[in-house]
Structure 1
């Protein structure tokens, strides 16, 4: 199953150094039966993109929790065999049994530098947006208007060097 893991730049550095990564709380997002059921229509590609966007929003929470955050959303796409569906948490949520090895990574998605200001502002108000604050939701929308850039796993060292 293709799983989208929310991350941070610090987590990408860990992935490069250790060759594996533990998802925070073992949480990822995927095209699950509950996610498919929650949409009236949509191709697999569209629904997988919705799961990726859920992971990108979760990345904002991780950025907000870091002591010295680098304000770029990160999503790591990986092919994982052992996951547990968690529709009680949200339609796309899955739990991973263990760490994700670099060999399982299919792609890395990262904000471009021009998104940094919007991402930093969104990370600061993510909790308020979750509680329905319209101004916070607007700020969140500014960050989500930026598309994530795509990188192949073998490009990770070069990506980190450029940051």
Structure 2
């Protein structure tokens, strides 16, 4: 099994509540939906020998949180909170997309059943304003705008909260009000 980190939104959690996290059809509607992050050979080589697995997974997790911000920047009707879902999938269900040194991107094929979810991570409610500002600034930050980049980087002060998958209904209730 390989641990992957899927960037998402609260809509992703509603899919999970329905029984699966990823459906192939969603990949066309949401290009990032089938893209996850994991510890790839390219990431392992970039970070260097001797780095423990937990630190490598944190890098992949952090990159997934950036992917969630990208999703939010393209979806106007979403509450502005980043979501990252950690799941364990068979190695044959992922294909490494890493194109450069340090890249952690993988493509996930098929569906991810709810029972494969290891953890759910969501911004705290008090991060909502900063996440909204960062989502609005994201396109300009990707073009190199320094002010927009500073807004996006300010999100580093907010850590995503950890939830057990059994808390899914509680998460949705808490954040959809």
Same fold flag (TM > 0.5): yes
Shift of 1:144: 2.4
Q: CA RMSD in A?
A: 1.5
2:35 matches 1:27:
yes
Shift of 1:21: 1.6
Shift of 1:100: 1.2
Q: Structure 2 regions of 5+ residues with no counterpart? A: none
2:83 matches 1:83:
no
Q: Structure 1 regions of 5+ residues with no counterpart? A: none
Number of the residue aligned with 2:128: 116
Instruction: Please give the per-residue CA displacement for 1:49-86, whole angstroms capped at 9, x wherever unaligned.
Output: 01001000010111111131201100000001120011
Number of the residue aligned with 1:6: 7
Mapped to 1, the partners of 2:75 and 2:145 lie a distance apart of 23
Number of the residue aligned with 1:131: 143
Query: Structure 1 length normalisation: TM-score?
Result: 0.93
Shift of 1:130: 2.0
Number of the residue aligned with 1:105: 117
Number of the residue aligned with 1:143: 155
Shift of 1:7: 0.3
Mapped to 2, the partners of 1:131 and 1:92 lie a distance apart of 22
Number of the residue aligned with 1:63: 72
Instruction: Please give the per-residue CA displacement for 1:95-135, whole angstroms capped at 9, x wherever unaligned.
Output: 01112110110000000011001100111111222222211
Aligned length: 162
Query: Structure 2 length normalisation: TM-score?
Result: 0.86
Mapped to 1, the partners of 2:116 and 2:13 lie a distance apart of 14
2:111 matches 1:92:
no
| Aligned structure 1 segments of 4 or more residues deviating by more than 4 angstroms | none
